[in-house]
Amino acid sequence: MPGVTGPSDYSREPPRHPSLKINAKEPFNAEPPRSALGAAYVTPVEFFYKRNHGPIPVVDDVHSYSVSITGLIENPKQLFLNDIRALPKYNVTATLQCAGNRRTAMSQTRTVKGVGWDVSAIGNAVWGGAKLADVLELVGISKLTGATKSGGKHVEFVSVDRCKEENGGPYKASIPLIQATSPEADVLLAYEMNGETLNRDHGYPLRVVVPGVIGARSVKWLDSINVIAEECQGFFMQKDYKMFPPSVNWDNINWSTRRPQMDFPVQVKVSGYAASGGGRGIERVDVSVDGGNTWVEASRHQKTGIPYIAEATCSDKWAWVLFEALVDVQQSTQIVAKAVDSAANVQPEKVEDIWNLRGILNTSWHRVQVRVGHSNL
Ligand SMILES: Nc1nc2c(c(=O)[nH]1)N[C@H]1C(S)=C(S)[C@@H](COP(=O)(O)O)O[C@H]1N2
Ligand SMILES: [Mo]
């Protein structure tokens, strides 16, 4: 494996911020405190959630690191980091969200399996790198190609980390070729996060970023790109990250009956974020202070100026929106927030209505119970 290897134990993990809430230690899965998340439009790297399925890979020699591009293509190639850096660099502001975000709340309806995330398995970063569409052009696949001559229709990303779900093999996932070759889709091979070299937790030296799609498809520590006929057959595409109706349980589950989850839907957190997948913007955020009977529209802010990037070179259609609403709360009540995206998708009212076995995509209205106490002083 050129330049980067996946260790078989946890003795070489990187340092992490002490205030992260650790949901699992090995593999390391952690999210920031709620207060750190809403504080900034661009989430600082140290507070960005970390979602891993194995030990963090180690880069022995970044100069010998390369990505091989193979499969159903005419000119297979090995690309070094310098080859990728030589392509036009794009900065894309994109919100990455784990499909398991808010899973803990789904478990309150009925137990679901998986890492117990609170509401912060989400973050917004400025990703710097080459567009995958440009990289694929280097191997002879032109822009907006749906199928190669030899029948390639999907692009598989393979890493080097060792995951127990893959029986010690690497993490992998795929996206359709048409998305990979579409410059508008902004799929990146990123080597920077928030203007700094990507760090080990987030995929150093190179990761995929698929904007608007659940985090699971943004493969870190990229080792090879394979153009294949069918979507990736790996565990995380076929046996995880799928939504099933509530009647399905662990005894009658038939994984092949559902397609892998891709876009993440509209959702919101009461103290501040709203995001919608698929490149759809947030149209409106409504806030209620009476449990959802009456609503006021919140004010919102998107870009707040990112110091290290010229405005014109920075797209934000994949990014979250932060919102604020000043509301009077005179008595103990329930504050509720729900967002509407540009396609008029609205968050569902109840978690019960979208409960699913794997506990993913809990996009129900976010409710926060507030208690107003009266001081006697
Ligand atoms: N190689 C590799 N890539 C991966 C994963 C992984 O475990 N290994 N986890 C995926 C999942 S489920 C998510 S949500 C995102 C998390 O990215 P982050 O840790 O940079 O926040 O990475 C994805 N890419
Ligand atoms: Mo995830």
Q: How far is the CA of 208 from the centre of ligand 2 (A)?
A: 14
3-state secondary structure at position 165: helix
Mean pLDDT of the region 293-297? 88
Q: Which amino acid is at 46?
A: E
Q: How far is the CA of 311 from the centre of ligand 2 (A)?
A: 30
CA–CA gap between residue 74 and residue 139 (Å, rounded)? 7
Domain 4-257 has CATH 3.40.50.150: no
Residues of the chain with CATH 3.90.420.10: 4-257
Task: Tell me what pLDDT residue 271 has.
Answer: 58
Q: Which ligand is nearest to the CA of 224?
A: 1
- pLDDT category of residue 225 using cuts at 50, 70 and 90: very high
Read off the pLDDT of residues 60-112 as tens digits, 9 standing for 90 and up: 999 999 999 999 998 899 999 999 999 999 999 999 999 999 899 888 888 88
Mean pLDDT, the chain, whole residue set: 90
Strands 314-318 and 90-97: parallel
CA–CA gap between residue 41 and residue 50 (Å, rounded)? 18
What residues line ligand 1, using a CB cutoff of 6 Å? 48-53, 96, 98, 159, 161, 171, 202, 215-216, 218-221
Read off the pLDDT of residues 346-361 as tens digits, 9 standing for 90 and up: 999 999 999 999 999 9
CA-nearest residue, atom 15 of ligand 1: 215
Instruction: Write the DSSP assignment of 3-71 as a string of letters.
Output: SEE--SSSTTPPP--TTSEEEETTTTEEE--HHHHTT-SSPPGGGS-EE-SSPPPEES-TTT-EEEEEE
CA–CA gap between residue 82 and residue 63 (Å, rounded)? 8
Q: How far is the CA of 97 from the centre of ligand 1 (A)?
A: 10
Residue 266 has pLDDT above 90, yes or no: no
Contact 127, 189 (CB under 8 A): no
With vertex at residue 261, the alpha carbon angle to CA 179 and CA 5, rounded to the nearest 5 degrees, is 75
137 Rama class: left (phi>0) / alpha (psi -120 to 50) / beta: alpha
Instruction: Write the DSSP assignment of 288-326 as a string of letters.
Output: ESSTTSS-EEPEEE-----TTS-GGGEEEEES-EEEE--
Read off the pLDDT of residues 231-251 as tens digits, 9 standing for 90 and up: 999 999 999 989 888 888 999
Token digits for 341? 């995206």
Q: How far is CA 313 from the centre of its chain?
A: 22
Annotate 223-277 with three-state secondary structure: CEEEEECCCCCCHHHHCCCCCCCCCCCCCCCCHHHCCCCCECCCEEECCCEEECC
Task: Give the range among 336-340, 366-370, 371-375 with minimum mean pLDDT.
Answer: 371-375
Residue 377 has pLDDT above 50, yes or no: no
* 243-247, Cβ contacts within 8 angstroms, sequence gap of 24 or more: 243/356, 243/358, 243/360, 243/361, 244/356, 244/357, 244/358, 245/356, 246/355, 246/356
Closest ligand 1 atom number to CA of residue 49: 21
Residues of the chain with CATH 2.60.40.650: 267-370
Closest ligand 1 atom number to CA of residue 54: 7
Token digits for 72? 């159903």
Q: How far is the CA of 298 from the centre of ligand 1 (A)?
A: 32
CATH class of 267-370: mainly beta
Percent of the chain clearing pLDDT 90 (strictly above): 66
- pLDDT category of residue 270 using cuts at 50, 70 and 90: low
Closest ligand 1 atom number to CA of residue 50: 19
Percent of the chain clearing pLDDT 70 (strictly above): 93
Q: Which ligand is nearest to the CA of 160?
A: 1
3-state secondary structure at position 219: coil
Residue 376 has pLDDT above 50, yes or no: no
Strands 321-324 and 333-341: unpaired
CA–CA gap between residue 206 and residue 208 (Å, rounded)? 7
3-state secondary structure at position 212: coil
CA-nearest residue, atom 18 of ligand 1: 50
Instruction: Write the DSSP assignment of 27-40 as a string of letters.
Output: TTEEE--HHHHTT-
Task: Tell me what pLDDT residue 147 has.
Answer: 96
Q: How far is the CA of 136 from the centre of ligand 1 (A)?
A: 22
Q: How far is the CA of 371 from the centre of ligand 2 (A)?
A: 33
Task: Tell me what pLDDT residue 305 has.
Answer: 64
Q: How far is CA 373 from the centre of its chain?
A: 39
Task: Tell me what pLDDT residue 314 has.
Answer: 67
Q: Which ligand is nearest to the CA of 220?
A: 1
Strands 29-31 and 77-80: unpaired
Residue 27 has pLDDT above 50, yes or no: yes
Mean pLDDT of the region 162-188? 97
Task: Tell me what pLDDT residue 231 has.
Answer: 96
CA–CA gap between residue 128 and residue 93 (Å, rounded)? 9
Task: Tell me what pLDDT residue 80 has.
Answer: 97
Q: Which amino acid is at 51?
A: R
Contact 187, 133 (CB under 8 A): yes
CA–CA gap between residue 36 and residue 322 (Å, rounded)? 13
CA-to-CA separations, 100 to 76, 81, 215, 216, in angstroms, rounded: 36, 32, 9, 10
